[in-house]
Amino acid sequence: MKSRFMEFLGGLLILSLVFGFPTTAQAQSGNEIKQNSLAEQWILKQVSQGEVADLALYTPNEQERVIRAEFIRQILKTTSVENILLNGITVKNARVIGDLYLQHAEINFPVSFEGFKFDGNVSFCRDHFRSTFSIVKSVFEYGVNFCSAKGDDSILLIDNEFKASADFSGLEVNGNLGLQKTSFACSAQFGGSKIHGSLFLDDAVFSASSQTISFEGIHVDNTIFLNRAKFSGSASFYGAYVGSHFVADDAQFENLDGTVNSTFAP
């Protein structure tokens, strides 16, 4: 038993070196926000054992739940941790500092982030998600980019808050794209995306009155759901294709453009 435990500690040390952890937690000075490297190590320990990493259980202090965008990037790129590859990762209640740029990457396992706050830009442009990818109940302070990304399963971005631009143009999803209860404060682009399942935007709020939300050229094999969605500006579905139904019960459109050249279910 002791030898197995030592092997685990040795393996965790190797992973720590790969992920670039300092050996101690970095303290905060004044209002400066720095990552808690011990929290990062705890997350890695949890997910390496196939467990959920909920930082609210690790510490009640939100200031100690700060992790680096680079740590998230490295863990999503991993190809060597067996439990991660088999079970995926679930991380909850973290604040991510720095820009998260992960582009042209292969993500080979299920990913679930919940209760995150992203303090920098986030880009998954041209990534390939080979399993379900989920970010829910989270806040994005800056731009988010899924341009030309591909999902072999569903991509779920439910009950989030996008405070800056959100770009899903050219995204291709073999399952569903879920954006229920999500708020968009600035521009949102869905043009040219291909959803082979359904697009869910029930209870979504698009609050930028000066912006046109573009669904131009979108291709949805099943149904677009816009129940109770609110558009403060205009929305354009010019050239859109919907294979099954366009459902928008109790939706509010201030200015709906471009539907005349769109193809909806009969």
What helix, strand, coil percent values describe the chain, rounded to 5?
20, 30, 50
Residues 90 and 111: their CA atoms lie apart, in Å, by 6
Residue 6 has what pLDDT?
40
pLDDT at 17 over 90: no
pLDDT digits (tens, 9 = 90+) for 131-152: 999 999 999 999 999 999 999 9
- The CA distances from residue 69 to 43, 66, 116, 193, 233, in Å, are 13, 10, 12, 27, 33
| Banded pLDDT at 12 (limits 50, 70, 90) | very low
Q: What angle do CA 144, 222, 135 make, to 5 degrees?
A: 30
Tokens 């539907």, residue located: 259
Contact 66, 97 (CB under 8 A): yes
- Residues of the chain with pLDDT > 90: what percent? 75
How many angstroms separate the CA atoms of 200 and 183, rounded? Answer: 13
Is the pLDDT at 20 greater than 90, yes or no? no
230, β-bridge pairs: 205, 252
Q: Is residue 2 predicted with pLDDT exceeding 80?
A: no
Q: What is the mean pLDDT of residues 15-32?
A: 46
DSSP notation for 54-119 = EHHHH-S-GGG-EEEHHHHHHHHT--S-HHHHHH-EEEES-EEES-EE--S-EE-S-EEEES-EE-
Q: Measure Cα distances from 146 to 11, 100, 103, 119 in Å.
A: 34, 12, 9, 17
For residue 216, give both structure tokens. 């131009």
Q: How far is CA 56 from CA 64, 88, 115, 116, in A?
A: 10, 20, 10, 11
pLDDT of residue 249: 96
SS3 assignment, position 48: helix
Residues 6+ apart with CB under 8 A from 181: 158, 159, 202, 203, 204
% of the chain with per-residue pLDDT over 70: 84
Q: What is the pLDDT of residues 200-211, one digit of tens each?
A: 999 999 999 988
Q: What is the pLDDT of residue 257?
A: 61
Structural domain spans, the chain = 99-261
Distance CA 16, CA 145 (A): 29
Taking phi over 0 as left and psi of -120 to 50 as alpha, with beta for the rest, 122 belongs to beta
Name the pTM for this structure: 0.86
CB 72 within 8 A of CB 36: no
